């Protein structure tokens, strides 16, 4: 049987039409899936807008110190910041099992650029300078700055900041402790990379006094990080203006909801209860240093 030219063309056209339909169906399927994925991402379901959808990745320090995190174990939820983190996660719609912890340095967390976590909590003071690189929630705690000296040191009897004007003072770099030490005591402030190094410097006699957050100072003395150390008082007027905030990547889709979560926890008394539970022994009355 001979196939005419016209019949051959019709057959070829039909074959091409079928192939085109199959390709269109496949492309349509991919497009539909993409649309579904985009709809899910833009649905307002915050649990799907995280670094790992369905999980909330929270970073903290390495190590993380008491009273913020007990035993360097944020997964336990013990310690003020660990407890706040889980309370915020619940407000955002995450179960405790959906929280994934990771570690970062303090400086890396507030540096510009992309992040591989959704939020970071390690006593970040809220400042306009830092807001240029990252987002903040509203404050979850307002700390003050305090001073530690050695009981047997030459400044053991200091009762004012003026008494420390000739002291060699230390503070952790980039902290408000450093800012207040330099502004209120003297210009020659030695800096250290972390609180542990700062405590060791005072313990070893490299510095005469240190300035840090009041909670940190009390812990350093109670834990023996500074042997025979004493917290001589809080620096007058050193309470955080805006407090410590949770850090989020710049323009994070979680920023607004995280801020609302912190505000709601403040309004319903949860933050105060957690402060009473985890910080009470670190915020006892201390004399003011003016």
- Residue 46 is inside which H or E element, if any? none
DSSP state, 267? H
pLDDT tens across 87-120, in order?
Answer: 999 999 999 999 999 999 988 999 999 999 999 9
pLDDT number for residue 5: 40
Buried (b) or exposed (e) across 81-110, using 16+ Cβ within 10 A?
Answer: bbbbbbbbbbbbebeeebbbbeebebeebb
**8 to 17, 21, 200: CA distances (angstroms):** 14, 20, 90
Q: What whole-number distance in Å separates Cα of residue 93 and Cα of residue 50? A: 12
pLDDT tens across 24-66, in order?
Answer: 444 444 554 444 444 444 457 999 999 999 999 999 999 998 8
Regions in the chain scoring below 50 on pLDDT: 1-29, 32-42
DSSP state, 4? P
The values of phi and psi at residue 10, to 5°, are -60, -40
> Domains of the chain (ranges plus CATH)?
52-142+242-289 (3.40.190.10), 145-235 (3.40.190.10)
Give this prediction's pTM.
Answer: 0.74
Average pLDDT over the chain, rounded to an integer? 87
Task: Tell me the two tokens of residue 268.
Answer: 């319903």
Task: Tell me the two tokens of residue 3.
Answer: 């196939």
Task: Tell me the two tokens of residue 99.
Answer: 């929280």
pLDDT number for residue 92: 98
């Amino acid at each position: 049987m001979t196939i005419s030219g016209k019949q051959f063309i019709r057959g070829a056209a039909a074959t091409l039409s079928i192939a085109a339909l199959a390709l269109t169906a496949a492309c349509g399927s991919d497009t539909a899936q993409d649309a579904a994925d985009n709809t899910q991402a833009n649905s307002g379901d915050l649990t799907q807008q995280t670094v790992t959808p369905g999980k909330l990745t929270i970073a903290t320090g390495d190590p993380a110190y008491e009273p913020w995190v007990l035993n360097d174990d944020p997964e336990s939820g013990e310690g003020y910041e660990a407890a706040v983190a889980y309370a915020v996660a619940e407000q955002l719609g995450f179960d405790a099992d959906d929280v994934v912890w990771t570690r970062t340095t303090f400086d890396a967390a507030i540096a510009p650029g992309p992040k591989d976590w959704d939020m970071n909590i390690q006593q970040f003071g809220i400042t306009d300078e830092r807001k240029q690189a990252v987002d903040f929630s509203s404050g979850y705690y307002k700390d003050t700055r305090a001073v530690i000296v050695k009981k047997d040191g030459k400044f053991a009897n200091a009762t004012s900041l003026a008494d420390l004007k000739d002291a060699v003072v230390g503070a952790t770099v980039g902290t408000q402790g450093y800012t207040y030490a330099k502004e209120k005591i003297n210009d020659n402030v030695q800096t250290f990379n972390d609180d542990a190094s700062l405590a060791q410097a005072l313990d070893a006699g490299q510095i005469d006094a240190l300035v840090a957050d009041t909670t940190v100072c009390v812990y350093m003395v109670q834990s023996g990080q500074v042997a025979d150390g004493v917290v001589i008082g809080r620096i007058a007027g050193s309470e955080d203006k805006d407090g410590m905030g949770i850090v989020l990547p710049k323009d994070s889709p979680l920023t607004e909801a995280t801020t609302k979560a912190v505000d709601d926890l403040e309004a319903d008394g949860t933050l105060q209860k957690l402060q009473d539970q985890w910080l009470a022994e670190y915020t006892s009355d201390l004399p003011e240093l003016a």
